[in-house]
Structure 1
Amino acid sequence: MSSRRLRNRLAVVAAAVVVAPIALFAPPVTAEEADAADLRVTYVESARWNTGYTGEITVHNASGTELSDWTLEFDLPEGSGVHQLWNATLEGSAEDGYTVTPPHWGATIPAGGTYEFGFNGIHTDGNSHLLNCTIQGSPCAGEPHQGLQHGDLSVAYFTQWGVEERGYQVRDLIDSGSAEKLTHINYAFGNVSADGECFMTNEPEQGDAQADYGRVVPASESVDGAADGPNQPLRGNFNQLRKLKEQYPNLLVSVSLGGWNWSEHFSDAALTAESRERFVRSCVDLYLKGDLPLIDGAGGEGVGYGVFDGIDLDWEWPASDGNPHNVVRPEDKENFTALVQEFRDQLDELGEETGRHFELSSFMPAGPWRIDTGYELDEIMPNFDFITVQGYDYHGTWESVTNHQSNLAPDPRDPGDVISTQTTVQAYLDRGVDPEKIVLGVPFYSQGWTGVEPGPEGDGLFQPAQGPAPGTYADGTEDYRNLKELSGFDLYRDDDLGTAWLYDGETFWTFDDEVSMTQKTDWVTDNGLGGVMIWSIDGDDAEGSLLSAIDAALGK
C-alpha cells in the first residue's frame, strides 16, 4: 500500500515536470550540453518490510538550463537489488550494477528543479544506500573535495551528545566550512561494558544508540538534503558521517573509546590475554565491521561498515586516578601495552581481509607522572598511527584560584606547580616519541570562575575565586561560540604564553581565540609536530573561526 501511494505521487510530480516546461521554455539541452557539476542525487529508503523496501531517488538540477537526457548509474550493497522501478527506465542487475535513464515518455529536469522516481527492492537486512553512484558520469554527491593541501593532521572530536544538547549536526561541519579543513574526525564516545566489551544501548548514562544510528535525521539537518527513512537500518549520526565521507573521501573517521565518563571498565577489559582478545574483537565487530545490534528498528549485521576507519583509545587513565568510579590497577601500564598490540593485530587482520588500513590512535595525558605511571611509550608507539596529547585542562574550576587552562609556555607569575604545553610535549620527546606522531590537543571551550578580585595587576589572574562561573551547559565551562558573544568583559592576552582571558571585575574566563590558536599552531609547525587536535568541534562558532585559524597556520 505504501509503495503504491508513493508511485502515484511520483507520477504526478513527473507529469508536472514534463508538461509545463515544454510549453513555456526553449527546448531542453541534451546530456552533452549539461554541466554535470550542477547535478546532484539524493536517496532515501522510505519504507521497509520483511525482505523488501522502497527507495526514493531525486535528481537535483542546479544549473540554469533544463535537462532532458540524463544517465544515472549505481550499485547496491550486497544482498540488495531493484525489483521494480517506475518513472524511469532501468537496465542492469545487482551483480553488474544499474543504469537509469528517462522514461520512454520523457522526463525533463527543470532548471533549478528536481525529478523524482522510485523503486521497490529486496534486501537481506542490510543497508540499501546507493554505491558508486554517478550522474552524467560525475559523482552523485558532487565532485569530492580533494582534501587539505598541507600534510599536517587536523583532528576534531565530534560529540555524540552535541546533536541533541547543543544543536550541532554533522551537516554543520559542511555549513561552517570545517569539513574541508579536517583530516580526521574522532567520534566521542564508545562505551566499555562491565564484562569488558564494546556495546550499544539506549540506557541513560551508558549509551545513546538513538543518536548514533537510530534517530531519523530530517532533510533540513541532513548532509545531502535527503531525510533518513524511518525504517532504514542506518540512521542518525552514523549515516550522516557516511554521507559526509562521500563528499570528503579523504576524511577519516575513528570511534573514540572511553573518555572521562566511560573509562570505568578499561582495566577489566585489558586484564588478561583472553579479556583483551574478546574486548578488541567486540569493538572491531561493532564499529569496523559495522555489526550494529538491533535497537528500536535500527541496526543489523554489517549495516555500519564503512562509517569508521579506525579506533581511538581514550582510557583516562591507565594505573592512575581519573573518574572516581574507574577501576585502577598497578598492572594497567603493562596491560595497556598488551591491549594496544591486540588492537594493532586485529586491525591489521581486518585490513588484510578488506584491503584497507585501519588506523589506531590514542589520547594521552599531560603531566610526566601520568606518562610514567601508565605508559610504556617505547613499546606502544610503533603500533599507533599517531597520538593526541592533552593540551588543556592544566587548570580549571576544580581549583579555587584562577589560572590558565592551556598556556603554551610556563607563566613566570604562576605561584603554584607550573604546567604548560611546552613542558608536556617535551616530556614525550624526552621519552623518545617521534614528534611527527604527536598531535597537540587544543580546547574550543573555556574554564571560568566567579567571585574573583582584580588582584595587583587588575586582571583577575592567579586570584582566589568563590566558585565556578555560570555556563550555558555546565557551571565552570563555556564554549567559544558563546563566550565570544559576552559583553562587558576586558580582553587580556599574553603572546609569549599563547593564551588569553576575559575579566569583568567579577568573572574570569581563560580561553583560546583565533590569535592564541594561531600562536599554538605556529609552535606546532615550528617544532615539527604532527598536527592539531580539537576538543571539541561543536564549541566553534557558525563560521568555523577557530578551525580556520588553525588551518591557515598549518598551511603556512
Structure 2
Amino acid sequence: MRRSMLGRLAVAACSLSLLTAFAPAAGSGVTDSGAGRSYKKVGYFTQWGVYSRDFQVQDLEANGSAGKLTHINYAFGNVSAEGKCFTGNIPGEADAWADYARPLDAANSVDGVADTWDQPLAGNFNQLKELKAKHPGLKVLISLGGWSWSTHFSDAALTPASRKAFVASCIDLYIKGDLPQDGTRGGAGAAAGVFDGIDLDWEWPGSAGDTDTVYRPEDKRNFTELVKEFRTQLDAYAHTQKRGTKYELTAFVPTAPAKIDAGFDVRRIMRDLDFVNLQGYDFHVSGEPRTAQQSALYARGDFSVHGTVEAWKRRGAPAHKLVMGMPFYGQGWTGVTGGGDGLGQPATGPAPATWAAGYEDYKALKKLADSGAYQIHRDRRGGHAWLFDGTTLWTYDDPQVLRAKTGYVREHGLGGAMFWSLDADTADGELVTAVDRGLRGR
C-alpha cells in the first residue's frame, strides 16, 4: 500500500517537541452551519485496487459515492530518474495496463457498454471519463508521487530547467493526454479531458520519506518554485482552451511541524495552490511498541487533527484552503497486555489483517465491530474510536467519528474533507455518505 506507509516513519520518527494542545470540540473558530458553503470532498482512487480489491471505477457509481464527491485523486503517477512524468508497463514503477489499456466489460463499465479492442482509451482513465460524463461537476486530478513514488521529486525540482521540463512532461501526459502508444491504445490526445488538474504528493521535501527517496536542504525553496512552475504552465495551457477552463493544483501535506518547516514555505505555496489535503492519520502506527490513536481530532500532548490544522494556520495557510484528511482504514496491534481498554498498552506487533499486517480497511473493521467479539471504545472529547477484544486493538474512524470531524470542518471554516482511500469503504459507501451528510450539517 503506497499511501498506507506514508506515516510509518513520517510522523512516528519525528520529534514530539512541539505538542498539540487539547481543546474542546466547540473551540474558537469560524462558525458555519454548512449552509451556502461548497465543501471539497476528495477521495483517492488507487490504481492497484482494481486488482487486489477488485474495486472498479464503476463501483463508485454503484455505491452512490460518485454523486457525493467533488474530486477524485487518482493514485499515483510516477516521476522518472530523468525527472519526467511517465507511464508504461514496468512492475513496481508504472502500470499503463490498469491506467488506459485494460478493457472493461459491460458489467464493470460506468456506461454499461463494453470496451472495444480498437478504442484508443480504455482502463481506469476511460472509466473516470465516463464517470465525469454522468457527474459533470466532478473533477479528477492525477496525484503524483505518494510514499513509494516520491523517489525522484527532489531531482526533478532541483533547477529552473529541470522544473520546467518536469512540469511540461506532466501536462503533456495527463492534461493534454498524450499517452504512449500501447497497441491500439494511447496516442496524442487519447486521455484529453480525463484530468482536471494535478495533486502534488511529494513525501517529503526537505526531510526523509521512503528509504530510497532523495531529499535535500534546498527542497523547501525548490518545492515553492515547483508549485509556481506548475501554476504558471497550467494557467498558460488553460488559456489555449475554451473560455473558462481552469486546471486545479493541490498538494498533500504533513502533520509533523518539523516536516512542515523543513519543506514548505507555507505562505508562498498557498498563493499558487487551490487547496492542500492535510495528513489526518497515521499519527501512530502499528509498528510502534504501544497501542495509540492514529487519527484523533484532539489529543493532549500528541499529534492530532486540530494540531495539524493549527500548525498550518499559524504558518499562514488560510483556513478555507485546508482540507482535512480522514482515514478509511485502521491501524492495529496484537499481543496487547496491561488490561483496561487496551489503549496506550504494550503490544507484541502489528495485528494480522487482510492486505498488510497492522493495516485494515474500514469495511473489514465494521464486520469486527458488528460481530460482537470486539468492544467499541470512544474518546468523545478527543474525537476518536478503537476496537479491542482483550488481545487485539484497532484504532479507526467510523461514521460517528466522521460526524465530529465534519462538524469541526464547518465550525472552523475549513475547505472540506479528503479520504484515503475509496476502496476501503463499505459496499454501500457508508463513510462517504457520513462525510457528505456531515458537511451538509445533517
Normalising by structure 2, what TM-score? 0.90
Instruction: Classify 1:212/1:149 alpha carbon distance in 2 versus 1 (closer, same or farther; 3 Å).
Output: farther
Q: Pick one of 116, 125, 142 that aligns with 1:238.
A: 125
What's the CA shift for 1:454?
A: 4.5
Deviation track 1:454-476 (CA, whole Å, cap 9, x = no partner) reads 43xx1110011101101101111
Matches within 5 A, 1:101-180: 150-180=37-67
Q: Distance in 2 between matches of 1:492 and 1:465?
A: 18
Residue 434 of structure 1 pairs with residue 318 of structure 2 = yes
Q: Match for residue 378 of structure 1?
A: 267
| Aligned partners of 2:83 and 2:155 also within 8 Å | yes
Structure possessing the higher relative contact order (Cα contacts under 8 Å, 6 or more residues apart): 2
Q: Contact conserved, 2:278 with 2:323, CA < 8 A, in 1? A: yes
- Report how far residue 297 of structure 1 moved: 3.3
- 1:550 counterpart residue number: 435
Match of 1:461 in 2: 343
CA distance in 1, matches of 2:377, 2:182: 50
Map of 1:468-487 to 2, 5 A cutoff? 468-486=350-368, 487=371
Distance 1:296 1:506 in 2: 53
Q: Do structure 1's residue 256 and structure 2's residue 138 form an aligned pair? A: no
Larger Rg: 1
Counterpart among 203, 213, 217 of residue 316 in structure 1? 203
Preserved CA contact (<8 Å) 1:454 1:505:
no
> How far off is 1:166 after superposition?
0.6
Q: Distance in 1 between matches of 2:439 and 2:272?
A: 26
Q: CA deviation at 1:231?
A: 2.2
Runs ≥4 residues deviating over 3 A: none
The whole-number CA distance in structure 2 between the counterparts of 1:150 and 1:536 is 24
> Partners in 2 of 1:219 and 1:293 — Cα distance?
26
Within a 5 Å distance, the mapping from 1:149-298 to structure 2 comes to: 150-298=37-185
Identity of aligned residues (%): 54
Specify the SS of the correspondent of 2:94.
coil
Q: Distance in 2 between matches of 1:189 and 1:262?
A: 8
For the residues of structure 1 that align with 2:406 and 2:76, how far apart are their CA atoms?
26
CA–CA distance in 2 between the matches of 1:464 and 1:508? 11
What corresponds to 2:309 in structure 1? 425
Please tell me the residue identity of whatever aligns with 1:481.
Answer: K
RMSD between aligned residues: 1.1
Counterpart for residue 118 of structure 1:
none
Equivalent-residue separation in structure 2 for 1:214 and 1:328 (angstroms): 34
Number of aligned residues: 402
Q: In structure 2, how many angstroms separate the alpha carbons of the residues matched to 1:516 and 1:182?
A: 19
Aligned pair partner of 1:515 in 400, 403, 425: 400
Does residue 1:536 correspond to 2:425, yes or no? Answer: no
Counterpart residue type for residue 243 of structure 1: E
Deviation at 1:453, TM superposition (A): 1.4
Distance 2:412 2:201 in 1: 25
1:157-201 Cα shifts (integer Å, max 9, x gaps): 111011111111111111111011100000000000000000001
Q: Is the 1:149–1:555 contact (alpha carbons within 8 Å) kept by the matching residues of 2?
A: no
SS at match of 1:484: helix
Query: Any idea what SS the aligned residue of 1:500 has?
Result: strand
Aligned partner of 2:412 in structure 1 is 527
Unmatched 5+ residue regions in structure 2?
A: 1-34
Provide the C-alpha distance between the structure 2 equivalents of 1:270 and 1:378, rounded to a whole number of angstroms.
Answer: 19
1:401 Cα deviation from its structure 2 partner? 0.7
Corresponding position of 2:248 = 359
What is the deviation of 1:150?
A: 5.0
**Contact 2:338 2:346 (8 Å CA) reproduced:** no
Letter in 2 for 1:198: C
Q: Which structure is higher in strand share?
A: 1
Runs (5+) with no aligned partner, structure 1: 1-147, 412-416
